[in-house]
Structure 1
Amino acid sequence: MALPSLGQDSWSLLRVFFFQLFLLPSLPPASGTGGQGPMPRVKYHAGDGHRALSFFQQKGLRDFDTLLLSDDGNTLYVGAREAVLALNIQNPGIPRLKNMIPWPASERKKTECAFKKKSNETQCFNFIRVLVSYNATHLYACGTFAFSPACTFIELQDSLLLPILIDKVMDGKGQSPFDPVHKHTAVLVDGMLYSGTMNNFLGSEPILMRTLGSQPVLKTDIFLRWLHADASF
């Protein structure tokens, strides 16, 4: 999927290859396959009429970087820059915007970000980096929040996103990167979030972390230094 890069104009396109949402990896290859990696269950060649490509654009929005498909396959949740969207993808053609909620970094955090010599035109925003389904009624989202990572629960009502409450926003350090260009990964298993990202402002402290759920927070110890400073998640 081709996604807009940081800093493109506000008419950046979200190119959603819907067929890719269903390309689930197969089981690990059997012995004798020469170590070949996981293969897609479905494959389309370039030019195949079944390879559907749809476009979505929304004025004022950019950096559509994080995608989450609903369990029923009818809604695509999208984490963008300072916003989360719900798109109706039930019918072929252009995905339809169901609703959108803003989640900007606070003015105080943006000011602090600029004071630390980061760009207030391309960096000091809230780039959504984690978007997972927590349960039937809530999503869990994390963003860079102007180089001050933050997370929150987003309530759902009939697959629509309800507004984020400021007092429900919590520290997201170790779950989302500080810098929008830093690599990251996150997966929710049995109500617990396992994440890998950079744990400091400079991007020199990689970390693996377990949060949420009933178990205590668990994370790698930076002093052990078994994760290299240039780790890529």
Structure 2
Amino acid sequence: MLRLCGFPVSNYYNKVKFVLIEHGIPFDETLVNVPIKDPACFADTPLGKVPYLLTERGALSESQAIVEYLAASHPDKRIFPADPFDAAKAREIMTVLELYVEWNARELFPEAFFGGKVSDGTKAHVEKRMPRALDGFKRLARFSPYVLGDTFCIADIAAFVHFPITALATKAIYGRDFIADAGIDWKSYVKRIEEERPAAKRVSEERKAFIAGLAKQG
């Protein structure tokens, strides 16, 4: 059986987890926190990142590589749209969301979430780049009602896991929700997905339970 390694606060971990649950692919979970300290783990995740997936043929790291593997090894699940152009559009908008929107916001995470500090230069750089990245995302997105139109797809899974943490990071650093400021009603969108998709509800509930458990530990 597939084994997903990581922790349920990671948006990229939850991206893969959502895909597995949504498409009924059996898997187990192993809690692996970062920074990874066990040298043996680096054989499975060369950069010490989560998530990574243990398969019968070996390990895979990087969430998109894992999703592509799942799609190729379970063609009957239709993880990507069947139409080649629609599938490419899903990959396109996911790339824009992850490489330009979420990755920009990720530079803020040390101060936004982990008690560290981010330089004023980094903050200014992110503040300058984020509106352009979000404008590009909006040019591709439809939200009618799903990211790419009238059908739920893998792009919605990516948006569901990346919107909240990106918005929270910008709010923590600048006092403004950059996604909402860009005219994207992400809170209503995420709420609807959670209400419609049992997989989304499970991912969200297990993330919240994990955070609550950490809080109890002090």
TM over 0.5: no
| TM-score, with length taken from structure 1 | 0.27
| TM-score, with length taken from structure 2 | 0.28
Q: Which has the greater radius of gyration?
A: 1
**Higher-helix-fraction structure:** 2
**Higher-strand-fraction structure:** 1
